[in-house]
Homo-oligomer: A and B are copies of this chain.
Amino acid sequence: MGSDQQASATRRRPGPRRILSEEVIVAAALRLLDERGAEAVSIRGIAAELGVAPNALYTYFPDKAAVLRTLVDRLIGEHDAEALADVGRPWRERVHELALGLRARLLAHPGAAALLLGAPMDGPQALLLGERLFALLAEAGLDDDVAVHAGYVLIVYILGAIALEAAELDPARPAPPEAERIAARRAGFAALPADRYPRTAAGADTIAAYIGTGQFRWGLERVLDGLTHPDSAGRRSRAL
């Protein structure tokens, strides 16, 4: 007692210097994910990428799932907080920026999108993104609680869109241009037997477009309409 040991959080630990860091491990994992797909992201694969024995990673992360959770959360966190907080810009525009940014960052790493959908969005960066969305909606004039309601419906919509779009992508390689993906999807739906799936086949153009940015924005506008139009306010009390 009385010894002036530093706070244990910052004190240098005994033992050999660490060769790696959480950052380089996550970076290696993301590289593998992008270049060789979700199945290539293994503890052994990451270790090989880093020139290290597989077990070395277990001093940085308790298990493989923790590596993947961290990877996804970092990806969520790469947003432009300043632009979202700029009260000089119309709030709908800022909501679009947040939504489009999150969607784009995840779809740029198709394997990561699948990971996002399999685990709760409860990492520090995910929570911060939520804070920014709620704050943005509150600035737009919504009461604090209403802002949280609206924010969550938006998050549900964004998650759904990411799920829909990521399901079409090969997690082993970067996404082809959007127009190309839409065209492929359109061809697939148009080729369905029209006697069994008449509306789907006839609506192939529309359906195919829903994995694209244009329809994502359009749907986002409709959801925002539903959340802000006059009738909606009175029904808010029907929340559970």
Contacts and interface: CB of A to CB of B under 8 A. Distances in A.
A145 B203 contact: yes
A240 interface: yes
- How many copies the complex holds: the figure is 2
A49 B164 CA distance: 33
Most B-side CB within 10 Å, residue of A119, A135, A192, A223 = A223
Contacts of A153: 219, 222-223
A118 B120 contact: no
Interface of A is mostly: helix
Contacts of A75: none
A235 interface: yes
Interface size class of A (residues with CB under 8 A): 35 or more
B152 A207 contact: yes
B231 A225 contact: yes
Given A157-B157, A167-B120, A218-B238, A197 B131 contact: yes
21 contacts: A120-B168, A121-B164, A121-B167, A122-B188, A130-B199, A144-B202, A148-B203, A148-B207, A149-B218, A152-B215, A157-B157, A157-B223, A209-B240, A214-B239, A215-B240, A221-B238, A224-B226, A225-B226, A225-B231, A225-B232, A226-B229
A214 B164 CA distance: 24
A198 interface: yes
A50 interface: no
Contacts of A221: 226, 235, 238
Interface in A108-147: 114, 117-122, 127-128, 130-131, 134-135, 138, 144-145, 147
Contacts of A122: 188
A47 B117 CA distance: 29
A176 interface: no
Interface string A83-96: 00000000000000
Contacts of A210: 152, 156
